[in-house]
Amino acid sequence: MLKKGSALCALSQLSIEEANLIEPTLPAVLLEHACSLGSPIRVLEPRATNGNVNLLELVVLNHLVAHASPSVIFEMGTFDGRTTVNLAANAPKAKVFTIDLPKSQVDNTALSLEQSERYFIEKERSGARFAAHASTHQITQLFGDTATFDFSTWYDKVDFVFVDASHAAAYVRNDTEIALKMLRKGGMIVWHDYGSWTGVTEVLNAEVRENVRLRNLVQIHPTTLAVCGPESLRRIATSNDSQQARAYLKRYPDVQAGYDETERLGAWKALGHYLDFGSFEGRIWGV
């Protein structure tokens, strides 16, 4: 399918009310914990355009794939190829497969698209930004509708899946199920635009409760990346939700009023306060 808007441009495609319709409820892992894995990274094509992950998200994604050291990567949603080439550059031994919906099929998809997605489908060329890079030899570009494409060749053979195709709920649900079928034991799935697009947020909020294979789902805060991978990330997130929030509020009684220690994120919650204000004030998070 297609690539969707980044966190920075999502509100240009959706009204504020629609973008905030469903609150993200996944446990959160702080950015510094998710990226403290020690693996060096490369950042190619740093400039983001409308439809890309933002630069911070690109850095996090590169850290995740470099640490995972996958042999096979599958990206759902090529768009202009910016994330594709970065995935390849940070896993130089991997075979990278990426699929995009051809613009000739924009009016003939198996499931309904969001109306605002046409812009990202009707581009001049899919994958244009990886064409000039050395890692292009690692990349196999595919075209099709992810709701009808035959992915069986990759079942149980993929180590790292990046889901960033259509953000309509039906497609997110379909692409998540396909990603799980492709994923090899011990692999990792990353979704983009969790918390900024209604369809992604709705589906992942439900999947973490209902699908045992996604019990380790977390959000990397303050990005819109959701990750299902090592149990250690889930343990960190659980700690963020309770013990560390209580310690933060106990350490700083001046921020206690108005904050709920049982919640994680948002303008009036403990972790939200630390990320938005406390970290810049020199405050310390956690125990």
Q: What is the pLDDT of residues 6-64, one digit of tens each?
A: 433 433 344 333 444 588 888 888 777 777 656 789 999 999 999 999 999 999 999 99
In contact, 190 and 225? CB cutoff 8 Å: yes
Q: What tokens were used for 92?
A: 């130089």
Residues 216 and 223 sit within 8 Å (Cβ to Cβ): no
Can you tell me the mean pLDDT for 133-162?
96
Q: Annotate 82-95 with b (16+ C-beta within 10 A) or e (fewer).
A: bbbbbbbbbbeebb
Give the whole-angstrom CA distance, residue 279 versus residue 59. Answer: 20
Decide: 1 and 76 in contact? Cβ < 8 Å.
yes
- What integer pLDDT is reported at residue 287 of this predicted model? 61
Residue of 119 and 257 predicted with greater confidence: 119
Residue 235 has pLDDT above 90, yes or no: no
Residue extents of the structural domains in the chain = 10-231, 242-281
- Which backbone phi and psi does 99 adopt, to 5 degrees? -120, 140
In degrees and rounded to multiples of 5, residue 194 shows phi and psi of -70, 130
Distance CA 164, CA 223 (A): 14
Q: What is the C-alpha to C-alpha distance for residues 270 and 79, in angstroms, rounded to an integer? A: 37
Assess whether pLDDT exceeds 90 at residue 109: yes
pTM of the predicted model as reported, rounded to 2 decimal places: 0.80
Question: Residue 72's pLDDT band (boundaries 50, 70, 90)?
Answer: very high
In words, the CATH class of domain 10-231 is: alpha beta
Spatial neighbors of 128 by CB under 8 A, at least 6 apart, are: 80, 81
pLDDT at 17: 35
pLDDT of residue 187: 94
> To the nearest whole number, what is the mean pLDDT of the chain?
84
